[in-house]
Amino acid sequence: MDLKVVDVPERSRYEASTDGTVVGFCAYHLIDKGVYALPHVEVDPAYEGRGVGSLLMRESLDHIRERGLKVVPICPFARAYIEKNPSYADLVHQD
């Protein structure tokens, strides 16, 4: 499966697609200057268990890092992904 992850700012989310079909997304919104909340990650049930969520998080977090932003992982999936991948811990905004 050839997945592509892109930022879609007009929808405030990163989208994972294959063959032009969106199969997952990571929603975000700006909560403070330079800080994105990640309230929801969703993968189409037909694509669950195939690494879509992990790729979506990795690509999203890499893009967020490139932009010099921080995150507040509200979504349990986003929070768990960062906990399992401590190389992204530096992106978590500290109050």
CATH number, position 15 = 3.40.630.30
Count how many domains the chain has. Answer: 1
The tens digit of pLDDT for each residue in 30-81 reads 998 999 999 999 999 999 999 999 999 999 999 999 999 999 999 999 999 9
**Would you state the pLDDT for residue 1?**
75
| Percentage helix, strand, coil for the chain under 3-state DSSP, each rounded to 5 | 40, 40, 25
Note down the domain range covering 48.
Answer: 4-91
92 pLDDT tier (thresholds 50, 70, 90): very high
What pTM was computed for the model?
0.94
CA distance 47 to 23: 7
* Amino acid letter, 45: P
**Would you state the pLDDT for residue 47?**
96
